[in-house]
Amino acid sequence: MKKIFVFLIAVSFVIPLAAQNAEYYYLRGTVYYQKGDLARAIDDFTKAIGLDPYDANIYVDRGAAYHDYGEVDRAIEDYNKAIAMDPRIETAWYGRGNAYHTKGNLDRALEDYGRAIGLAPNDASMYSDRGSIYLERGELDRAISDFNRAITLDPYMDYVWVTRGEAYFAIGEIDKAIADFTKALSLTPEAGPVYLSRGQAYLEKGDADRALTDINKALSIDPDNPDAYNSRATAHLAKGDFDQAIRDLDKAIELNPGN
């Protein structure tokens, strides 16, 4: 009887200690993840799981680290474990949706984003990422609807204004596209690709002068972008400047000779 009593005392001490050590590894892994040191983050999350294998959140975070490390299948395995433990964790569904998106399984990604949104209906990033899949699939009305919701929830995410602008451009709503690209640039003034997108929208409107201004700005930020030279050549052609158009096309071919 005395041996059992001693054993119970020992167990009551070891179990909290193990859980505490798991928390330490988990927290350090989180710091490594935020620093971008994914290998060390994965190692610490794995040690935490070894000490506390029933904490679904650790699997979620290791899944995120695996995903960013390029181990997408392992990420999905971790998200599966987290969902099996606690299907109410929205970040597990969201993370698995991201992993399926990376693998190109858009149907599964949409399904998981939908589950995540059902659990966290006020998370702007989830609507944005689901909208991006709809945009990729050409389901533009659904994409715009999700981007609208994301912007309502968080109007300071510059990339959502960009993606909604791309959706508007695709359906021929050029003025709305320009307005969204302009808003994105007000949030991130040195975004070269957004200047290029707005310049292309001005080209679509037939405003070659504004297009040139934006494309020149894009090239000042990234002078090695062949798409920008190609678009600027189109603007020069619209203005009848054939020699400058040829020079820009020469540069585009030099930078990207395979296309």
Q: What is the CATH number of the domain that holds 68?
A: 1.25.40.10
- Gap between the Cα atoms of 197 and 195, Å rounded: 5
Region 222-228 average pLDDT: 97
Residue 17 predicted with pLDDT over 70: no
Mean pLDDT of 5-18: 39
CA-CA distance, 209 to 155, in Å (whole number)?
30
Q: Are 164 and 132 in contact (CB under 8 A)?
A: no
pLDDT score recorded for residue 102: 97
Whether the CB-CB separation of 251 and 228 falls below 8 Å is answered with no
| Any domain includes 117 | yes
Q: From residue 257, give the alpha-carbon distance in Å to each of 16, 112, 250, 252.
A: 62, 40, 10, 8
Exposed e or buried b per residue across 171-191, where buried means at least 16 C-beta atoms within 10 angstroms of its C-beta: eebbebbbbbbebbbebeeeb
Closest of 106, 74, 113, 65 to residue 90, by C-alpha: 113
Residue 109: inside a domain = yes
Is residue 19 a part of any domain in this protein? yes
| 44 in any annotated domain | yes
Residue 153 and residue 123 in contact, taking contact as beta carbons nearer than 8 Å: yes
Structurally, the chain folds into a number of domains equal to 1
Let me know if residue 137 belongs to a domain.
no
Average pLDDT over the chain, rounded to an integer: 92
Of all residues in the chain, the percent with pLDDT exceeding 70 is: 92
pLDDT at 10 over 80: no
Question: What type of residue sits at position 240?
Answer: G
Residue 242 maps to a domain: no
If pLDDT is split at 50, 70 and 90, which confidence band does 258 have?
A: confident
Q: Which domain holds residue 83?
A: 15-121
Quote the CA–CA distance of 121 and 105 in Å, as a whole number.
Answer: 23
Out of 143-147, 162-166, 187-191, 253-257, pick the least confident. Answer: 253-257
Determine the pLDDT at residue 242.
Answer: 97
Kindly report, residue by residue over 135-163, the tens digit of the pLDDT. Answer: 999 999 999 999 999 999 999 999 999 99
Helix ranges restricted to H, the chain: 2-35, 38-51, 56-69, 72-85, 90-103, 106-119, 124-137, 140-153, 158-170, 174-187, 192-205, 208-221, 226-238, 242-255
Question: Is 93 inside a domain boundary?
Answer: yes
Q: What is the pLDDT of residues 91-123, one digit of tens each?
A: 999 999 999 999 999 999 999 999 999 999 999
DSSP reduced 3-state for 70: coil
Answer for the pair 233, 252: CB distance below 8 angstroms, yes or no.
Answer: yes
* Residue 98 within a domain: yes
Q: Please give the pLDDT value at position 14.
A: 40
**Structural contact between residues 42 and 62, judged by C-beta atoms closer than 8 angstroms:** yes
pTM: 0.87
Q: Looking at 10-14, 21-25, 61-65, 178-182, which range is the least confident one? A: 10-14
Rounded Cα distance between 182 and 78, Å, is: 40
Q: Rounded to an integer, what distance in angstroms lies between the CA atom of residue 194 and that of residue 183?
A: 10
